[in-house]
Amino acid sequence: MERELERTKEKEPLAFFDSPRERLEWDISMRRRIMGPRVVKSDSIPWVTSSTDRLHKQFIWPPWQETQYKWPIRTMFAAEQVIPPRQTAALRHRHYNEAIFYVIEGKGHEIHDGIRYDWEAGDIYTIPVYADHQHLNDSDTQPARLFFSANSYIYTFAGMTHVDSLKLPRTPPDADPILGPGGETIGFRYKDGFELRFGLDPAWEARIRYATANPLCTTPAKTTYDHYVTRLKDEFEFTLKQPHVVKQRDVPWEDTRMGRIKFMVHPGRTTGMYLYDAFIQEIPPGSRSGKHRHLFEEIHLITEGKGYDIHDGARWEWEAEDVVCIPTGVVHQHFNADPRQPAKLVAFQSRLAMALGHGGIEHLEDCPEFPGGVP
């Protein structure tokens, strides 16, 4: 009898986390956390030197700890980087996450998995997942300025954090070099015993060999399971075969309800991206964009002019070089406050919400120039 009672007790469901109140409180706390400041003023962000000795401005940077998160954007970080004349930005490296670059000034090229892609001011270039990549400034005299974003925070959340460290230019202050058989530096041993060894990830190298050489990947799929085996090759080829640079001069302006826009990267213009869209928008002097709302996140680099955004009724001032954050689900509209000069911005959008089935836009008001959009 006693055993019967105990068994009944064990079967009693525990009430945790599924009550309407707990769900609502969770939602409210998430909404509160995305209510951070919307404009990152360029002059408020200090220049810092990266591990490759290049200057960075970290506008939106992953803090790795939720409590330190300052900006209301979760799916993308954003930074500016300067490459001195005839230098490389980062040393050759790879990472699971994607990245996307807008060239503010200068000209240079990329080497991605051995393929060269040239870029110049106004272009956008993409780093697909785990591409072996390096950025180089081709000018003898001018620095190159790059605005970039990566979605590494999403990958961290998904348990995919790997970055290949292929080389570092100098020994960190709290480490000693590990020397290879020829006396070359092959890594660092930190004072606490932690070791960082350079090199390509052997597991990923094996994955590439498998995708390119194993007949299973090229044999037409007979079963549903086979579909996933051949997908390995398909994904690998997808990122290799797409153009990784979009020249601004090759993309037409579209006169849309939201304003005059060049859609540089989007699902209809493939660039090897899975989770990024990008566009350039121009707002005429004294005018405004359309007004809309969407569940995907958006960040803007203001490249010309000054003005302000209205987000859910609140006004946020911006000027050239600032970064504007548009969190998920916020009604927003952009205003050019200058009666003589146009304002220009480059926008990066996260496709994560789109991939989750929340990619649509609630269009709420047309811009004054193109009501209804021009066909």
Query: At its nearest, how many Å lie between Fe ion and the CB of residue 87?
Result: 16
Q: Is the CB of 233 or the CB of 266 nearer to Fe ion?
A: 266
Single-letter residue type at 253: W
Please identify the residue of the shown chain whose CB is closest to the bound Fe ion. Answer: 298
Asked if 78 and 325 touch (Cβ cutoff 8 Å), the reply is no
Burial of 369 (0-12, 13-18, 19+ CB in 10 A): middle
Nearer to Fe ion, 189 or 363 (CB): 363
> Are 159 and 153 spatial neighbours (Cβ–Cβ below 8 Å)?
no
155, 270, 363, 281 alpha-carbon torsion, rounded to 10°: 100
Distance CA 63, CA 54 (A): 20
- At position 45, the amino acid (one-letter code) is I
Least Å distance between CB 141 and Fe ion?
26
Task: Give the shortest CB-148-to-Fe ion separation in angstroms.
Answer: 9
Nearer to Fe ion, 103 or 217 (CB): 103
| Per rule CB under 5 A, count of chain residues that contact Fe ion | 1
Is the CB of 110 or the CB of 298 nearer to Fe ion? 298
Residue 169: alpha-carbon gap to chain centroid: 25
Q: Are 296 and 354 within 8 A, CB to CB?
A: yes
Per-residue interface string for the shown chain with Fe ion, residues 169-208, x marking contact by CB under 5 A? ----------------------------------------
**Shortest distance in whole angstroms from residue 309 CB to Fe ion:** 10
**Per-residue binder mask for Fe ion (CB under 5 A), 264-303, x = binder:** ----------------------------------x-----
Instruction: Between 88 and 142, name the residue whose CB sits nearer to Fe ion.
Output: 88
| Closer Cβ to Fe ion, 277 or 298, answer by number | 298
Q: How many CA atoms are closer than 13 Å to the CA of 78, on its beta-carbon side?
A: 33
Question: Among residue numbers 120 through 149, which ones bind Fe ion (CB under 5 A)?
Answer: none
Query: At its nearest, how many Å lie between Fe ion and the CB of residue 45?
Result: 20
Residue 276, burial from CB neighbour count under 10 angstroms (0-12, 13-18, 19+): buried
How many CA atoms, within 13 angstroms, populate the side-chain half-sphere of residue 320? 10
Which is nearer to Fe ion, 298 or 322 (by Cβ)? 298
Q: Which of residues 298-337 bind Fe ion (CB under 5 A)?
A: 298
Distance in Å, CB of 282 to Fe ion, minimum: 15
Nearest alpha carbon to residue 248 among 325, 285, 303? 303
Nearer to Fe ion, 217 or 256 (CB): 256
Instruction: Tell me the closest approach of the beta carbon of residue 89 to Fe ion, in angstroms.
Output: 9
3-state secondary structure of 154: helix
Q: How far is the CB of 137 from Fe ion (least distance, A)?
A: 16
- Residue 349: strand, helix, or coil: strand
Alpha carbon 291 to chain centroid distance? 24
- 79 closest CA partner among 54, 113, 106, 116: 54
- Chain positions contacting Fe ion, by CB under 5 A: 298
